[in-house]
Each structure stands twice: as C-alpha cells, then as structure tokens.
C-alpha cells in the first residue's frame, strides 16, 4: 500500500461554473473521486487553504513546504497539491528549491471547472495521485502533472490562458508521460541546490524590458528600499543603453540583480558587446540566470536571500 497525502489549496480545480462566473464550490468537486483511485493507494486529504491562485503568496508556499516535511516524517510516500494554474509553476518551483526530503511532490490543477464540458480536474487529479505513488517520482524533484505529461518544476510554465494543454516546458520538453495510468520517465532531472529556509522575507522586484525603455523605473528602484531585482531582458540578455547608468546605481547600492531573457525559449547569455549588451551588463555585476522565467528567477533570488546568501555564494546560487 502506498500512502499519499492530498493538499487542496483552491483554484479552478475546486470551482464550479455559474451564471455570474467561476466560483468556489460548496463541496469540493474531487470529494467523490476516491472510488476511482487505484486500490493500492491510500489517500489522506486536507484543505490547507482555499485560495484562487492569484492570491497565493510566498508565505502560503512556505506553509506547504512545512506540511510536506511533516508528511515525510509521518511516513507518506508522496504528496499531491491541487492548485490554481495561474501561479502553480511558482509554487512548484519554490517547493523544488526548498524541500530536501526524499518524498514525491506533485502539483496539478484544472483549466475547466468541474461542471464545464470537458472538465479536466478529476482526470488530472487521478493521474497526479498515481504519479505521486510511483517509487521513481521522489527522484525527480517537484513535478507538475497535467494532460498526461510530467514536467519538472524548474522549467514548466503556463503557455495558454484557457487550453487544457497549457503547461509546457519550452526548450527541454516534459520529463515523463502517463499512459493508461502507467508512469514513464523519459529524462533525468539535473541536480540543483536546495535551501531549507524558514522565512520568505524581503522585497524582490521583477521588471520586463521593452523597446524604448527609459530610466524611470530604475531611478525609482535605486532610491527605494528593495532587497533584489530581476530583469526579463531582451533577446539573449540585453537592455536599451539608456537604462544602464540607472541600473549601475542599483548595483552600486549592493542590491543583487538577476537577469533572464523575456523569450520563452533559450537561455540568457553575455553574447553582445555593445552599450546595453550582455557583455557590459555582466561586467557590471548582473547575474545571468540560465533557463528560468522571470517569476521563477525572482523566487530563486528570494530563497537565496532568506537562506542568508550574499556575495559570491548568492551569485553561485543564482547562476548555477
């Protein structure tokens, strides 16, 4: 018998469609699904909170981390988290960065509420439970299971506002698939540093670069009380030259700056040696984070700061 803890957090998977819009259900739509879970899996369910995913904060993510660590001590083989899809990838990545216990952690959700035609919530939930019960899943880090695909938390992202196959892994693809309730892993997950933080303090700002960007936002940040800055830069990792002097003011204040590409595929690199190009930015002290989206790089910087990292140790955590 495999023991799986299910933690419900809210989101579309727990909602129903009404005339006024999609709203929270009086009875959780997954309450009647236990009869279709394979008999070799013993389910324990808890509602840890009930929030639409835009309401989720790092503090909520920390609550999940702490409950998962307790679940490991209680002898559970895996944990399934049902979650709204808007910030699901961020919660998944936060947990991937902060949980070192040998326990399977699977996040899933739904793009269609329980009473819509083609609702995907029950199906995704059952597949997620089966994945969490699989012995190999605990070796994969935190994963996201949607639409018969298994994605690594580090790279998965929501790519479509409403489609059921919205969760994709640009550049790298899924690490596994499900077929007829069987789990097949196709790739190895790259090891990365894990930080067992107990707080989520600090203000880390995320900016997106654009053509004609001026100094306004960077000047404000240089004068403000922030703990870190993440920039979604142009192309391989470049910025309009007008913002460079103001960005240098931010760096000179000792504020760590991480840079990713705003492109959905590829990685940020210091390739171009012109004003505002990646070569100049790296020489200034900007940290190039490879393969992450802006929202995930922000969480990585926040986790690093709460782990007490600074200087070269923080740089190593960000870029490797």
DSSP one-letter code for 266: S
Name the pairing type of β-strands 78-82 and 2-8.
Answer: parallel
Unique residue bearing structure tokens 């959780």: 28
Of 12, 91, 108, 157, the active-site residue reads 12
According to DSSP, the residues that pair with 42 across neighbouring strands are 3
**Contact between 281 and 259 (Cβ < 8 Å):** yes
Strand ranges of the sheet holding 143-146, from the earlier edge strand across to the other edge: 41-47, 2-8, 78-82, 104-108, 143-146, 149-152, 176-179, 182-185
Bridge-based pairing state of the strands 2-8 and 41-47 = parallel
**Contact residues for 300 (Cβ-Cβ < 8 A; gap 6+):** 93, 97, 258, 289, 292, 317, 318
Residue 12 annotated to the active site: yes
DSSP codes, 195-237: ---S---S-EEEEE--TT--SHHHHHHHHS--SEEEEEEBTTT
Instruction: Give the residue numbers marked as catalytic.
Output: 12
């Amino acid at each position: 018998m495999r023991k799986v803890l299910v933690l419900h957090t809210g989101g579309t998977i727990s909602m129903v469609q009404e005339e006024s819009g999609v709203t929270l259900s009086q009875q959780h739509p997954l309450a009647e699904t236990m009869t279709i879970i394979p008999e070799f899996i013993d389910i324990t369910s808890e509602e840890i909170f009930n929030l639409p995913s835009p309401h989720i904060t790092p503090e909520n993510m920390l609550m999940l981390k702490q409950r998962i660590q307790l679940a490991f001590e209680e002898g559970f083989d895996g944990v399934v988290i049902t979650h709204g899809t808007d910030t699901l990838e961020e919660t998944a990545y936060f947990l991937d960065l902060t949980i070192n216990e040998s326990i399977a952690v699977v996040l899933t959700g739904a793009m269609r509420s329980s009473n819509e035609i083609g609702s995907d919530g029950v199906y995704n939930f059952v597949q997620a439970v089966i994945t969490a019960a699989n012995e190999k899943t605990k070796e994969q880090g935190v994963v996201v299971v949607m639409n018969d695909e298994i994605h690594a938390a580090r790279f998965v992202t929501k790519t479509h506002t409403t489609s059921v196959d919205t969760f994709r892994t640009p550049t790298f693809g899924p690490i596994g698939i499900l077929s007829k309730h069987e789990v097949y892993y196709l790739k190895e997950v790259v090891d990365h540093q894990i930080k067992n933080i107990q707080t989520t303090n600090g203000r880390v700002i995320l900016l997106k670069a654009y053509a004609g960007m001026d100094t306004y936002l960077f000047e404000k940040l240089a004068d403000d009380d922030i703990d870190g800055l993440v920039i979604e830069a142009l192309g391989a990792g470049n910025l309009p030259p007008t913002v460079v002097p103001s960005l240098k003011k931010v760096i000179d204040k000792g504020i760590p700056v991480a840079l990713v590409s705003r492109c959905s595929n590829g990685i940020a690199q210091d390739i171009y040696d012109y004003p505002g190009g990646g070569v100049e930015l790296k020489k200034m002290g900007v940290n190039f984070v490879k393969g992450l989206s802006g929202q995930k790089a922000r969480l990585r910087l926040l986790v690093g700061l709460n782990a007490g990292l600074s200087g070269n140790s923080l740089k190593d955590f960000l870029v490797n």
